[in-house]
Structure 1
Amino acid sequence: MKQLQRYTVVDIHPFKSRRNDVKFRKPEAEDGAAIWNLIGACKPLDENSMYCNLIQCDHFRDTCILAELDGAPVGWISGYVLPNDPESFFVWQVAVSEKARGLGLAKRMLKRLLAREECKDVIRMQTTITKDNDASWALFRSFADAQDAELDHEAHFEKETHFQGEHDTEHMVTIKLPESGEMGAAA
């Protein structure tokens, strides 16, 4: 009688087993071009100029986060504390490389950003999302659910009023965050 060989599937996603190998850090000016390339590879994200990403890495490094795997960028969030409202953190852009999707990377980056000293007074997170951006809606709804927080939204930058008909309306999404110390336990 022929004996069947047994095969064990270790992991069908090459990066899932390396989830803990992802390194998170504040960006440096030298990261600007690599981040610009990452964003360009993450369609349909709006691309900013390379100079914009360089400025984010340099001037806003304390409120941006870069995720790397084997020294290569696989995740990026740019954001800032609103100058006229230190209790609000605005997420400008979220990019996750296709090869690192499915690892919960975006939520992990958001949590790490909000845990920084620079965000100690933040009680709400905001971002703008177009109605058709299913991935962003899913991310921020999932993040709000994980924090047991409410997600509110309303039209903010309108297609005709703000974009001369060239860009879809952006909806301001607001998530009221849990009291300090509760967020770590919620995720």
Structure 2
Amino acid sequence: MRTTDLVLRRPDVLDAASMYELACRSEGTEAEPPGTYVRVCRDFASTSLVAVDRTGLAGFLLGYVKPRDPSSCFVWQAAVRRGPAPEDLAYAMVAGMALRVRSDGVRYFEVAVGVDDHVLAAIMRRIAGDQSVELEVTELFSDSDVGSGRGAKMLYRFAMREASAARMDG
């Protein structure tokens, strides 16, 4: 995958249907009701991201600034289309979103990672390493907290360095 073929931007309500469809097709992603994606695109676009290439929606991240900790952005859902180099796409999305929210004043970046999601865990370690910052990993919730065998989630959190002059479009 060449990143020059990829556009990272804030989602628009016109992206919501494609986001819902991708969530339904993505292994390991629990799709929310379709209206949730419309609301996210409308109300949380500044802390969410879509990746679009020449064939359409390639992936998305959904996040929000935590009400009790406005210095932290929490990513609660991610989906990446199957295809060549999904790890590279996921890395570009997470790194791009971290850069954008940092330039908007957020200091901490957090991602919920399933205990079996070794790819996302590796991406978070790589981004923290690229920024030379410490990555904190703690249990977000256990399998028994959510029931239905959905699996435990870990919270990956790092303090971001000062925003660079580079900004993401959108």
Mapping of 1:36-115 within 5 angstroms?
A: 36-70=20-54, 72-102=56-86, 104-115=88-99
Of the candidates 169, 181, 184, which is equivalent to residue 152 of structure 2?
169
| Equivalent AA in structure 2 for residue 66 of structure 1 | V
Aligned equivalents of 1:44 and 1:164: distance in 2? 16
Residue matched to 1:25 = 9
Do residues 127 (structure 1) and 111 (structure 2) align?
A: yes
Deviation at residue 79 of structure 1 after TM alignment: 0.8
Do residues 155 (structure 1) and 105 (structure 2) align?
A: no
Do residues 136 (structure 1) and 120 (structure 2) align?
A: yes
Q: Secondary structure at the match of 1:98?
A: coil
Paired-residue identity, %:
23
CA contact (8 A) 1:74 1:96 kept: yes
Once the two structures are superposed, what CA deviation does each residue of 1:127-177 show, in whole Å capped at 9, x if it has no partner?
2222111122122112111111211112221222x2135422222221121
Once the two structures are superposed, what CA deviation does each residue of 1:24-51 show, in whole Å capped at 9, x if it has no partner?
2211112111011112222022222212
Do residues 181 (structure 1) and 164 (structure 2) align?
A: yes
TM-score (norm 2): 0.85
Consecutive unaligned residues of structure 2, counting only runs of 5 or more, are none
RMSD: 2.4
Matched positions, count: 167
Larger mean CA deviation between 103-112 and 73-82 belongs to 103-112
Instruction: Point out which structure has higher relative CO (alpha carbons under 8 A, 6+ apart).
Output: 2
In our comparison, the structure showing a higher alpha carbon Rg is 1
Aligned equivalents of 1:132 and 1:115: distance in 2? 26
CA contact (8 A) 1:89 1:119 kept: no
| Equivalent AA in structure 2 for residue 149 of structure 1 | V
Q: Secondary structure at the match of 1:38?
A: helix
Consecutive unaligned residues of structure 1, counting only runs of 5 or more, are 1-15
Residue matched to 1:4 = none
Aligned equivalents of 2:6 and 2:163: distance in 1? 26
CA 1:150–1:123 in structure 2 vs 1: closer, same or farther (change >3 Å)?
Answer: same
TM superposition outliers: structure 1 runs of 4+ over 6 Å = none
CA 1:183–1:148 in structure 2 vs 1: closer, same or farther (change >3 Å)?
Answer: farther
Larger mean CA deviation between 173-182 and 58-67 belongs to 173-182
Residue matched to 1:10 = none
Aligned equivalents of 2:80 and 2:148: distance in 1? 28
Aligned equivalents of 2:141 and 2:165: distance in 1? 32
Deviation at residue 108 of structure 1 after TM alignment: 2.1
